[in-house]
Amino acid sequence: MSTATTEIQLTRKDFVSDQTVRWCPGCGDYAILAQMQKVMPELGIPKEKIVFVSGIGCSSRFPYYMDTYGVHSIHGRAPTLATGLAVSNPELCIWVITGDGDGLSIGGNHLIHAIRRNVNLNIILFNNRIYGLTKGQYSPTSRQGKVTKSSPMGSIEQPLNPIALALAAEATFVARSIDAHTQHLEETLRRAAEHPGTSFVEIYQNCVIFNPNEWDGLSDRSVRDDNILYLEHGMPMVFGKDRNKGIRLNGFTPEVVELGNGIEEGDLLIHDATSTQLAFILSSMEYPQFPAPMGVIRDVRKPDYVSQLMGQVQTAQAQRGVGDLNKLYRAADLWTVNEREDVAAKVAGELSLDMDEEYVDNLDKADMDATTQVQDQLIESSIADLNPHVPITIDVQSSLERATRQLNLHNIGCLLVTDARDQLVGIFTERDVLMKVAGLVDDLSDAKVADYMTPSPVTIKPDQPIAQALHLMSVHGFRHLPLVDEQGHPTGIISSRDVVAYLNQAVN
């Protein structure tokens, strides 16, 4: 947590970067990103005092999409780099973004020690119980028996429980939320940001490609209230769509009971976020055997690491004065290493280039693999041979309502956006709808295409080879490429399907 500045007036748009968000359509990461961007301006902290640090994984792209300072570090080391930042500049508001693979496998040790030190960090762990970036191997949180590419006969490993692990490391703030419940997620992130010291939040996150059904009973609005226990400090543990169920203790074991028939709310457990023992009981309640506990599980106050460290520095300076690094270097025995002339001559001399020349000669003599007939055809054939589609255009000042209606009406995935001179200024695609509009824009009639399109798109001319189009699609990850004339007016559009259809015809 960093000290808020009440004079700062920011909006969600201030935290949206200019980078294209690259997650699979429908990924739960979009919802987490949206809620984080929504919470940030409410904290009243200047953007230059906010840093996002990540490791490796799908979630670790997060810093690119936040218009703040950010560090995309190496596998599992985000807590380590974040700790260094917190110590070097205690005024920073630092967020560690990690996943169940990144944070609990190679990064497990770093995560534990950042938590036990109570460094002033907000650690957000995306848990989809799978390795998504490396294409579907089981992760440290995957259930026993999970069949994946790396466990074809089912995982035999006991999964890690992130909440229990954080509690064992004496985390002072532990919470859980889920990507599909955006209001709950927003409030949980806000509570984490307000906590002094380490806050640890586990987010159940859906991987739509490699583990799409993991959180079905918790993300479906029609049934989630029967499967989630929403925690409120000082309140009885009641849950269910009709609030007719609860949790009580049977000895040391929690059990699910139905209210009525002699069982009242007074018989149920009362949530106490300051109780370590109760926090461990809640961490043991795993869905589907129990309703999944959501919200703040533990919230206590302890001295944070950086404050104590700075206190020691001030005490040492008061006792011994401000240190002099140059004197420290020269305080011990010193000696001089004299440079030998023969060695210096060899080092200073020029290196032989004979090997380089021989290598180049061999490259010139090497036989290059002949290109295939299809490759030759892609180079020789032009974009015009694909019979580009007539573009569907829309004015840059049009509403999102009109744009989405045009997409549906023409059953297309891309609109070309033009200005008053009919020149191409952007494209508006299904991807823009999924990443920037869906679930984020309440009134489509009031929002303008200009604010949600992809501006300054890459274009191509009809006389360029098909191979050039394939190259652009591959490098940029495009599905569509607009064609323009010399004045920048749109003349057509091609898609990856057009190229595939052309190749299929060429091969057959």
pLDDT per residue over 434-475, tens digit each? Answer: 888 887 888 898 899 999 998 888 888 888 888 888 888 887
| Closest-CA residue to 137 (of 194, 164, 99) | 99
Q: Is the pLDDT of residue 384 over 90?
A: no
Strands 238-239 and 245-250: antiparallel
Structure tokens at 7: 């004079």
| Closest-CA residue to 82 (of 125, 32, 119, 137) | 119
Q: Alpha-carbon distance 196 to 44, whole Å?
A: 16
Beta strands in 184-306 (DSSP E): 199-204, 228-230, 238-239, 245-250, 253-258, 292-299
Each residue's pLDDT tens digit, 202-261: 999 999 999 999 999 999 999 999 999 999 999 999 999 999 999 999 999 999 999 998
Each residue's pLDDT tens digit, 126-167: 999 999 999 999 999 999 999 999 999 999 999 999 999 999
pLDDT at 349: 45
Adjacency order of strands within the sheet including 238-239: 238-239, 245-250, 253-258
What mean pLDDT value characterizes the chain? Answer: 89
Domains and CATH numbers, the chain: 12-214 (3.40.50.970), 373-507 (3.10.580.10)
Q: Alpha-carbon distance 332 to 334, whole Å?
A: 6
Each residue's pLDDT tens digit, 161-214: 999 999 999 999 999 999 999 999 999 999 999 999 999 999 999 999 999 999
User: Kindly report the CA angle at 130 between 109 and 104, in degrees rounded to 5?
Assistant: 5
The arithmetic mean of pLDDT across residues 274-288, rounded, is 96
Each residue's pLDDT tens digit, 476-496: 777 888 888 888 899 888 888
The arithmetic mean of pLDDT across residues 306-328, rounded, is 91
Q: Alpha-carbon distance 29 to 358, whole Å?
A: 51
The DSSP annotation for 224-254 comes to GGGTEEE--TTSB-EESTTS-EEEEEETTEE
pLDDT at 501: 82
Q: Alpha-carbon distance 246 to 236, whole Å?
A: 8
Contact 195, 172 (CB under 8 A): yes
Contact 40, 15 (CB under 8 A): yes
Phi then psi dihedrals of residue 292, to 5 deg: -75, 120
pLDDT greater at residue 87 or residue 463: 87
Regarding pTM above 0.95, the answer is no
How far the first Cα of the chain sits from its last, in Å, is: 63
Q: Is the pLDDT of residue 2 over 70?
A: no
pLDDT at 33: 97
pLDDT at 83: 97
Helices (H) and strands (E) in the chain, counts: 18, 17
Q: What are the Cα distances from residue 247, in Å, to 201, 260, 265?
A: 23, 13, 9
Name, in order, each residue with C-beta under 8 angstroms of 215's C-beta and a sequence gap of 6 or more.
178, 180, 204, 206
**Percent of the residues in the chain that have a pLDDT greater than 70, as a whole number:** 91
Q: Is the pLDDT of residue 498 over 80?
A: yes
Q: How does 86-112 read in b/e, with b if 16+ C-beta sit within 10 Å?
A: beeebebbbbbbbbbbbbbbbbeebbb
pLDDT at 325: 85
Q: Is the pLDDT of residue 305 over 70?
A: yes
pLDDT greater at residue 506 or residue 184: 184
The arithmetic mean of pLDDT across residues 369-392, rounded, is 77
Contact 192, 175 (CB under 8 A): yes
